Amino acid sequence: MPDRFLDLFEAEPIAKLLVDGDGLVLLANRVCHDLLGYPPGELQGLAVELLLPSACRERHAGLRAAYLASASSGSARRMAGGRQLQALRRDGIELMVEIGLGQIAIDGRPLTVVSMLDVGPRRQLRERDRALARARERNRELAAFAYIASHDLREPLRRIRAFVERLDHRLGSTLDADSRNDLDRITTTVTRMQGLIDNLLRYAVADGGEIVSVEVDLDAILADTLADLSESIERSGAEIQIEPLPRIKGDPSLLRQLFQNLLANAIKYAAPQRRPKVRIEVEPGPDDASCRLYIRDNGIGFDPRHAERIFEPFTRLHGRSDRPGAGIGLAIARRIVERHGGRISAIGAIGAGATFELMLPLPARGPTTD
């Protein structure tokens, strides 16, 4: 066999077999040995049907004979990749391969070149892509449902509040203590329900739709966030310390919501008789593509056993009367971080404060010149 042919055959980046008219393997390249799990040289001399599951061998022998018959009559053509069949590895594992056949003549002897491509990983990728597409569509449907349901709930609540206010205006001076208490409880319940609906809408926005991905100045985001929270910061006397922060890649509106939720959470869960202190620190991530942010507080903390549970929607570790809210702020925070391709985790201890660690993407760095 010509050396030039052998060199080219061995250099092929996909699995190749050279098979004679009797169906015996004359040559197999390194990629083929690796694919089928045979030591170098061990494929030579094997019947090609032995490389198929036993249930396929008889049918394949007939197909091979028909192919060779058409080749001898001059009507055979190269079979391009696209046909798939099961191949059998030396260890008995079956794998799906895509094959292509071609006829060549060496020293006047007709031979068949078999090309094989493992399509298992490609099929898995297709299945994964389909599953991701279904999940994205499902998320969009759920987000749309949450938005519509929340929107539709607003109107009856507005009507309830209007009726309560009308009753209060008309009968307020004549109400006894129990009736006044009932009206106040209705108003409080409506207010809490409206807050819950607002949070559902925020969660729907954080969970659905496409996000904007631009270079974001985190110092500017935090400045806006502190302005939004100025009333609660002043009321609580909270001290907020922020290190100079990097520019990151993300959606400005979602990132503003993220930091507002985390800072508001730190202020809400301040420890009694202790001035709230919150510090935001930054350090490099594990690579040049990300950074780590830490939001540390000196609040009441939480049981470390609940470090994952606190990110679940509507989860509250403390009583509603002690700490108002719907228990969805941290769930929104996690969703925003995850949609940016990052991670968020929490470390805490009862009475010793909490630390939230965020991993967020940095903008891509352009090429540098010396």
Instruction: Give tens-digit pLDDT for 320-336.
Output: 545 555 567 888 899 88
Instruction: Give tens-digit pLDDT for 280-317.
Output: 999 988 888 889 999 999 999 888 888 888 888 766 66
User: Are residues 186 and 312 both part of a single domain?
Assistant: no
User: Are residues 265 and 281 both part of a single domain?
Assistant: yes
Instruction: Map residue 209 onto helix, strand or coil.
Output: coil
Instruction: Give tens-digit pLDDT for 209-264.
Output: 567 788 999 999 999 899 888 888 999 999 999 999 999 988 888 898 899 999 99
The residue from 163, 194, 209 where one domain ends is 209
72 falls in which pLDDT band (50, 70, 90)? low
d(CA 290, CA 271): 33
Residue 364 pLDDT > 90? no
The residue from 87, 118, 149 where one domain ends is 118
pLDDT, average across residues 46-61 = 88
User: Are residues 146 and 188 both part of a single domain?
Assistant: yes
Decide which of 116 and 69 is more confident.
Answer: 116
Nearest to 213 by CA among 345, 368, 342: 342
User: Are residues 63 and 102 both part of a single domain?
Assistant: yes
d(CA 54, CA 87): 10
Structure tokens given for 155: 């109107």
pLDDT averaged over the chain?
Answer: 83
The residue from 93, 118, 143 where one domain ends is 118
Q: How many domains does the chain have?
A: 3
Residue 74 pLDDT > 60? no
pLDDT, average across residues 77-82 = 51
pLDDT computed for residue 322 by the predictor: 57
pLDDT computed for residue 327 by the predictor: 67
Backbone angles phi, psi at 332, to 5 degrees: -65, -40
Torsion region of 14: left, alpha or beta (phi above 0 gives left; psi -120 to 50 gives alpha): beta
d(CA 127, CA 54): 28
Backbone angles phi, psi at 84, to 5 degrees: -115, 145
80 falls in which pLDDT band (50, 70, 90)? very low
User: Are residues 192 and 228 both part of a single domain?
Assistant: no
User: Are residues 351 and 333 both part of a single domain?
Assistant: yes
User: Are residues 112 and 131 both part of a single domain?
Assistant: no
Residue 368 pLDDT > 70? no
pLDDT computed for residue 286 by the predictor: 85
Query: Mutual orientation of helices 120-171 and 177-207 as an angle, nearest 10°?
Result: 160
202: containing domain: 126-209
Q: What's 33's domain CATH number?
A: 3.30.450.20
Residue 361 pLDDT > 80? yes
d(CA 68, CA 22): 10
Q: What's 233's domain CATH number?
A: 3.30.565.10
User: Are residues 228 and 346 both part of a single domain?
Assistant: yes
pTM check: above 0.85: no
User: Are residues 114 and 11 both part of a single domain?
Assistant: yes
CA dihedral 70, 72, 73, 77 (to 10 degrees): 50
User: Are residues 178 and 246 both part of a single domain?
Assistant: no
User: Are residues 259 and 356 both part of a single domain?
Assistant: yes
User: Are residues 108 and 136 both part of a single domain?
Assistant: no
Torsion region of 130: left, alpha or beta (phi above 0 gives left; psi -120 to 50 gives alpha): alpha
